Structure 1
Amino acid sequence: MPDLLDEAAVAGRLKELPGWSLDGREIRREFEAPSFAAGIELVVAVAADAEEANHHPDIDVRWTKVTFTLSTHSEGGLTHLDFDAARRIDGLAVEHGAR
């Protein structure tokens, strides 16, 4: 299993991911999609990526706003898996026109 990151490592990795914020033992980011359908397409793309990586975000959809929350539940906090997933989510959001 991946190792938990300490506070300094989490802070350093967050600096590399604009828009993501720390919320307790999770990182979170909200995206604004150009439409509800585009937001759902983003969710589908992230779901496919998550299945491939076997690391799944919590996802909340509110009309055109899509929020992704990441933590490594099995470890009780943040690991490199969460930051890797956040980076991939950022790329998918760009591809789907979300900001």
Structure 2
Amino acid sequence: MSLLNKDQIEQKLLGLPDWDYFDNAIHAEFEFENFKDCFSAMSRIAFECEAMNHHPNWSNVYNVLTISLSTHSANGVTEKDFKLAEAIDAIVVPEDE
């Protein structure tokens, strides 16, 4: 998978308002009502990651999930990261927003 340049990344981020680009990865932070809701979202995301064979760097503190995506084999951001970010958004962002 080929690396995206900064302009391509910035353009793609227009469709993902919860995500930012820095430190050679795209990043998002999601806040939930409680730990149970956060962990539930993490579990659903984990199944999507396995299906895509692409795994995030992430951390969880109580009700906050922090995610960083980059394609390690390409040493930067690729289309694969954006596909996973879109899948994550579909899981964590309510449809009515």
Distance in structure 2 (CA, Å) of the matches to 1:64 and 1:25: 26
Distance in structure 1 (CA, Å) of the matches to 2:31 and 2:21: 19
The corresponding residue for 1:11 is 10
The corresponding residue for 1:54 is 53
- The one-letter code of the counterpart of 1:63 is Y
Distance in structure 2 (CA, Å) of the matches to 1:7 and 1:23: 10
- The one-letter code of the counterpart of 1:24 is D
1:88 matched to 2:72? The reply is no
The corresponding residue for 1:27 is 26
Post-superposition offset of 1:23 = 1.5
SS in 2 for 1:18: coil
Pairs aligned (count): 95
SS in 1 for 2:93: helix
Post-superposition offset of 1:94 = 2.4
The corresponding residue for 1:72 is 71
SS in 2 for 1:29: strand
The runs of 5 or more residues in structure 2 that have no matched partner are none
TM-score by length of 1: 0.91
* 1:28-86 Cα distance to aligned partner (Å, 9 max, x none): 00001111011001111101100000011111101100011100001000000001100
Q: CA RMSD in A?
A: 1.3
Distance in structure 1 (CA, Å) of the matches to 2:80 and 2:70: 8
Distance in structure 1 (CA, Å) of the matches to 2:93 and 2:77: 24
Identity %: 33
Post-superposition offset of 1:5 = 0.4
* Runs of 4+ with deviation above 6 angstroms: none
